[in-house]
Amino acid sequence: MVHFVGAGPGAPDLITLRAAELLARAGMVVYAGSLVNPALLERVPTGCEIHNSASMTLDEVVEKLAEGVSLGLVTVRLHTGDPSLYGAIREQMDALRERGIPFDVTPGVSSFCAAAAALEAEFTLPGVSQTLILSRMEGRTPVPERESVRSLAAHGASMVFFLSTGLIEELCSELKAGGCAPDTKAALVYKASWPDEQTLRGTLDTLPALAAEAGIRKTALVLVGDFLGDSYELSRLYSPEFSHEYRKGKS
Ligand code: SAH
């Protein structure tokens, strides 16, 4: 059995209990390059084989995982954040399926959650936005035209951009071209939950220069939307007048 495991955003204690337990039993760990905090690898027992997948191809990764399973080792494929986001796990799962190797998936705390925590922000504010868009600028991986940043901008929703900090200038221009006001609030969170975490706050007009000044080009998320501003409506859930299943409202 191969265990795909979310390592969380970086802080070694932002890993799930299930993930920690799997690491504690691991006989082989194949971890995803530079974004997995090496401190997490201290959880594995002595003698555990550890491989960094940064220099491997898909076939090599799958071969390694298959080897771990054939040796009878608890085999962990460790991905940053949550593996379902930009983790390229589908192709690994399909390759394992083809070989008849069973696997399971343990979710993790994604970096976009850690970024909101760092900013003390809430993505879904009443009266502001009830939708969160997770996307990226097109890089080597193409983005379908119907999901271009420009077209996403039109929704006015809360947005988080992965893998796009190196293109922050273009990202902010595209958002403006799509209809976001130049003074739309925008923030950058570098290495959310790591000891060297940094947060920058600005607008679509000012954020690229702030990022350049701070020398941040990767390992960061760009967050955009009015949820970063000061106005919102109070929630109905905790409103004294509002009745629901668990509480009678006062009139
Ligand atoms: N599966 C991961 C994302 C992997 S893609 C997750 O759920 O978070 C890699 C991108 O994620 C990076 O380019 C960066 O944009 C973002 N990222 C990952 N960890 C981060 C962190 N701790 N702080 C800020 N951004 C991070």
Instruction: Spell out the SS3 assignment of 65-81.
Output: HHHHHHCCCCEEEEECE
* 122-144 pLDDT per residue, tens: 999 999 999 999 999 998 899 99
Strand partners, 105: 4
Segment 189-195 mean pLDDT: 97
Q: Whose CA is nearest to atom 5 of ligand 1?
A: 86
The burial of 233, by beta-carbon neighbours within 10 Å (0-12 exposed, 13-18 middle, 19 or more buried), is given as: exposed
Contact 197 CB / ligand 1 (< 6 Å): no
Look at phi and psi of residue 237 and say left if phi exceeds 0, alpha if psi is from -120 to 50, else beta: alpha
Chain position carrying tokens 């020398």: 215
Contact 85 CB / ligand 1 (< 6 Å): yes
* Residue among 68, 75, 79, 64 at smallest CA distance from 34: 79
Contact 106 CB / ligand 1 (< 6 Å): no
Contact 202 CB / ligand 1 (< 6 Å): no
Q: In testing the pocket of ligand 1, which one of 86, 106, 111 has its CB within 8 Å of the most ligand atoms?
A: 111
- Ligand 1 closest atom vs CA 82: 7
- Say what the pTM is: 0.95
Rounded to whole angstroms, the Cα distance separating 44 from 42 reads 6
Local confidence band at 18 (pLDDT 50, 70, 90 cut-offs): very high
Rounded to whole angstroms, the Cα distance separating 19 from 98 reads 25
Q: Into which CATH architecture does domain 111-228 fall? A: 2-Layer Sandwich (3.30)
Chain position carrying tokens 């221009």: 173
Contact 35 CB / ligand 1 (< 6 Å): yes
Task: State residue 150's pLDDT score.
Answer: 96
* 83-114 pLDDT per residue, tens: 999 999 999 999 999 999 999 999 999 999 99
**Percent with pLDDT over 70 in the chain:** 100
CATH of 2-106, one of 3.40.1010.10, 3.40.190.10, 3.40.30.10, 3.40.50.10800: 3.40.1010.10
Local confidence band at 251 (pLDDT 50, 70, 90 cut-offs): low
Domain ranges of the chain: 2-106, 111-228
Contact 75 CB / ligand 1 (< 6 Å): no
Contact 109 CB / ligand 1 (< 6 Å): no
* 36-85 pLDDT per residue, tens: 999 999 999 999 999 999 999 999 999 999 999 999 999 999 999 999 99
Output the DSSP codes for 154-210.
TT--EEEEES-GGGHHHHHHHHHHTT--TT-EEEEEESTTSTT-EEEEEETTTHHHH
Contact 208 CB / ligand 1 (< 6 Å): no
Contact 9 CB / ligand 1 (< 6 Å): yes
SS3 (DSSP) at 134: strand
Provide the angle, in degrees to the nearest 10, between the axes of the packed helices 168-177 and 207-214. Answer: 180
**Percent with pLDDT over 90 in the chain:** 90
- Ligand 1 closest atom vs CA 197: 23
* 165-184 pLDDT per residue, tens: 999 999 999 999 999 999 99
Rounded to whole angstroms, the Cα distance separating 242 from 220 reads 39
